[in-house]
Structure 1
Amino acid sequence: MSFEEKLKKANEALDKLNSDELTLNESIKIYKTGLENIKKAREELEKAKLEVENIDE
């Protein structure tokens, strides 16, 4: 999954969590999935940052 897709999935999770139609268990599952996507996106962003810093050296 690309960086952009991870962010999109995280935003979709946030939209779902703002819905009043979810059960507690559904909310927890969506929250965990959203956090996983954010974590993976941050890791990918950090790798890209390091690559750019290495290019500038």
Structure 2
Amino acid sequence: MSKTQDFETKLQSAKGTLETLMNPEITLEESVKAYEKGTKELQDAQKILEDAVLKINTIKAS
């Protein structure tokens, strides 16, 4: 899986988690677990994005 696909997968997962959190019937425990999962997915996506920006800046500087 490429970094782009991985990034997209992380964003899709976070979006699904947001939809879960918007469900009014979700329990508090489920909400906390979903929030933790969504936060982790967004952190992973942010890291992939930061790595891509660093790579682009390195290429530009060459």
Select the residue among 1, 16, 34 that pairs with 1:12: 16
Equivalences, count: 57
1:21 and 1:56 map into 2 onto residues whose CA distance is: 50
Unaligned runs of 5+ residues in structure 2 are none
Instruction: State TM-score, norm by structure 1.
Output: 0.95
2:15 and 2:53 map into 1 onto residues whose CA distance is: 22
Select the residue among 29, 44, 47 that pairs with 1:40: 44
Q: Give the percent of matched residue pairs that are identical in Structure 1 and Structure 2.
A: 39
2:25 and 2:14 map into 1 onto residues whose CA distance is: 18
CA RMSD in angstroms, aligned pairs only: 1.0
Moved over 6 A (4+): none
